[in-house]
Structure 1
């Protein structure tokens, strides 16, 4: 009887999951503590710049400093999130321990001097770097190291945004478009929850968002559905725009980076030019609203993510300005992440579209918040859950429609060039895991060049 008990499938599963629990908890606590330190330092840096606006004019010098930090000590860390994704798919040189402190320091520098960036990239790199370090200490094999790295992503993401369920799903969904790494399910969930709890234990609080209650307009067909069909149609149209905004963002980040690398032979001049562009744009616009994260208001009436949830809380083109600011910042070598700026872009675009389409402002800001992110990262399921975690479950259907629509209309693009394409958005065909978004971008560029050449030959 005892032999049957100890050889049963359920016992083996229990033994495996207990093993992962023991492994993941200390890793997640360390990651959560590092993320808490990062968020605390980030807040100090941003508010210090608010009081010392002249720091913006030193942004080009900050760019030079970041460049040489990575050149002298960064090594493979320069690849950022893409390095972690590559290591999960095809283990190679590993994720260096120095990635965590370097990306933390350079992200703080970026925000201290006004660069428009986020924080997700930093948290994910902290998670991946620490997870790799623990994997070596625990002498894990290659397969277990992969799972630990995925869990590290979950811990970093869940901790930095206060969305543990989203963090777990994001880590499993972001690796390959159209597939989810279910073998890492429990480690990711444990890591994300523990990382989030650890940040809270350190006294770090996240921004709370709220959708104002709105009245549903009555229609002759309202009695047949449990929701407003006309509103759903408006959401679908808006979500197409959210997907196109995701595509624009991803294309600009990669396009601007390629443009400068090809035309500026002196590498340290690229962040100098990027910093000067940000300074020039801010001088032209006459306001600093599009610098840094865009969560806290630098002055009364500033356009921020929270303000976008209310009527009049965003300018018509705020989403486009934030797109330009962030893509220039990241493409010219400054560090941080893309996700919080994507939240800003989505929320302000949703605000603008709500006015044009006579729709609820708070709801459309929330839909843009998660949908632009879904399109840019190709993680519609994770972003649907993010909407539920941040804004409540009563609009879950709308969240899902927005995220999946934006996902499809962003095309085969994304902010992570190393993300694999498991299942194409154009059909149900599967591709090898070696085919990446970067490969898809090269094919698009080749196709466009061929079209342009044919057009030129035709005119002759």
Structure 2
């Protein structure tokens, strides 16, 4: 058999790479700069709230402002990440340009006055808005626009967390359960790289975490897997997946409950803010407000302290989960991922003593495991473990994320995710969205509510 080589094929591939290099470079620069500005504003808002704790009393008023602004001028941006995903699956009206300023300042207001929220959703939505505007300017076709929107997700995620490889895979994996479109792989990778580089060039620094797990004495490049430790990690991963399921279902259920019980759109964030502040007051701490990466004093419950096993209690993960679900379901804006990091790290830290494993290892596994379960992105979360903590514990990262993904079921924080392949044979949901799957059966929490009526 003779060697077959069609030079036109490789010329086309080369042109594809060069073309998308020229498109993703400005996209990454714009998204990276926007994310850098957003992270700077968020840092200033957090410092201001720490210096002036009396700002917490204005959280209900901030909620009214956010709700009114979105009701009056931003109804078409309320769907957030789900809107971007829907436009990738079935292009329609596009992602509005106004999404960027709306989500940016709404998130900063949420954090300034003490809402419990994250930042990933904001960065992704900013990336999608910029990508849509760039696509219109370049007059791209339908398929290229879908790729560019996916690149916007990658650039936003990669820049906001400083994890470019994770950003690229997350953008591909988050769209559908069980499949990825590889025609977007190279463009997403380039967009995420550019976004991260530009964000870093603006002087933005990300929190550094590490896992030493010295007591395991694991030498070599990749940690050796032992049956006992593997079994313990799998048991923890199942729990991480279940907690991811609980977070997603609780957030969706509370959102519907707020709309049903509080018909006035502007009153929902007032009620939600009252609950958030009331629970914080009852707990006697403000540690569960804001991002939760660290605290004003450095002590108390935070992601950083979870890796040292200090400041976090056995229930710290639950309180962060509850306050974040209330904050985001009643009308405040922000992401879910950083709170999920808090929930996972705190839960892993609490499990470390029970399982006899190092605290920093378990906090790291929880960090990525709950995230994998709630977003249905096991590959991206495994890579995040490598980018954030290093590659030595890769087998345990993969084990955690894969089992957490499986046991979170057909649930997730993004209802526009498509189910291209159910998580195991015999389960329904193929060719539908998580929203369709969820509407086909009452959620666990809605069943409990109805039973109590």
User: Would you call these one fold, judging by a TM-score over 0.5?
Assistant: yes
Tell me if the contact between 1:132 and 1:149 (Cα under 8 Å) persists in the aligned partners: yes
- Is the counterpart of residue 330 in structure 1 residue 364 in structure 2? no
Give the structure 2 partner of residue 445 of structure 1: 442
TM-score by length of 1: 0.93
Taking the TM superposition and a 5 Å limit, the aligned residue runs for 1:46-57 are 46-57=46-57
Deviations 1:64-91 (A, max 9, x none): 0000111122131011000000000001
Partner of 1:288: 286
Contact 1:423 1:430 survives alignment (8 Å): no
Which runs of 4 or more aligned residues in structure 1 lie more than 4 Å from their structure 2 counterparts after TM superposition?
A: 4-7, 428-432, 446-453
What is the CA distance between 1:443 and its match in structure 2?
1.9
Query: Pick from 400, 415, 418: which aligns with 1:417?
Result: 415
Equivalent-residue separation in structure 1 for 2:323 and 2:279 (angstroms): 8
Cα deviation code 1:32-75 (max 9, x no counterpart): 00000000000000010000001111100000000011112213
Deviation at 1:271, TM superposition (A): 0.4
Matching residue of 2:67: 67
Q: Does the 8 A contact of 1:217 with 1:228 survive in 2?
A: no
RMSD: 2.2
Q: Which residue of 2 aligns with 1:221?
A: none
Superposition deviation, residue 138 in structure 1: 0.2
Map 1:428-439 onto structure 2 (within 5 A): 433=431, 435-439=432-436
Q: Once the 2 structures are TM-superposed, how far is the Cα of residue 6 of structure 1 from its aligned partner?
A: 8.9
Deviations 1:96-148 (A, max 9, x none): 00101110000000000000000000000000000000000000000000000
Partner of 2:424: 426
1:247-396 to structure 2, matched below 5 A, reads 247-396=245-394
CA offsets 1:211-256 (integer angstroms, 9 cap, x no match)? 12322389xxxxxx93222111111001111001000100110010
Residue 141 of structure 1 corresponds to 141
Measure, in 2, the Cα distance between the counterparts of 1:167 and 1:46: 25
Asked whether the equivalents of residues 372 and 404 of structure 2 are also in contact (C-alpha less than 8 Å), the reply is: yes
Equivalence map 1:232-243=2 (5 Å): 232-243=230-241
**Distance in 1, Cα, partners of 2:309 & 2:175:** 37
Q: Distance in 2 between matches of 1:226 and 1:441?
A: 40
Structure 1 residues 119 and 300: alpha-carbon distance in aligned structure 2, compared to 1, 3 A threshold: closer
| Within-5 A mapping of 1:23-34 | 23-34=23-34
Given that residues 177 and 419 in structure 2 are in contact (C-alpha distance below 8 angstroms), is that contact kept between their aligned partners in structure 1? yes
- Structure 2 unaligned segments of length 5 or more: list them: none
Three-state SS of the structure 2 residue aligned to 1:215 is helix
Structure 1 residues 452 and 256, CA gap change in structure 2 (3 angstroms): closer
- Retained in 2: the 8 A contact 1:155–1:188? yes
Structure 1 residue 259: Cα displacement: 0.7
In 2: Cα distance, 1:389 partner to 1:128 partner:
24
TM-score by length of 2: 0.94
User: How much has 1:427 moved relative to structure 2?
Assistant: 1.3
Deviation, 1:450, is: 9.6
Q: Hey, what does 1:222 align to over in structure 2?
A: none
Q: Is 441-450 or 206-215 further displaced after alignment?
A: 441-450
Aligned length: 445
Q: CA deviation at 1:356?
A: 1.4
Q: 5+ residue gaps in structure 1? A: 219-224
Shift of the alpha carbon at 1:181? Answer: 1.6
Residue 211 of structure 1 corresponds to which residue in structure 2? Answer: 211
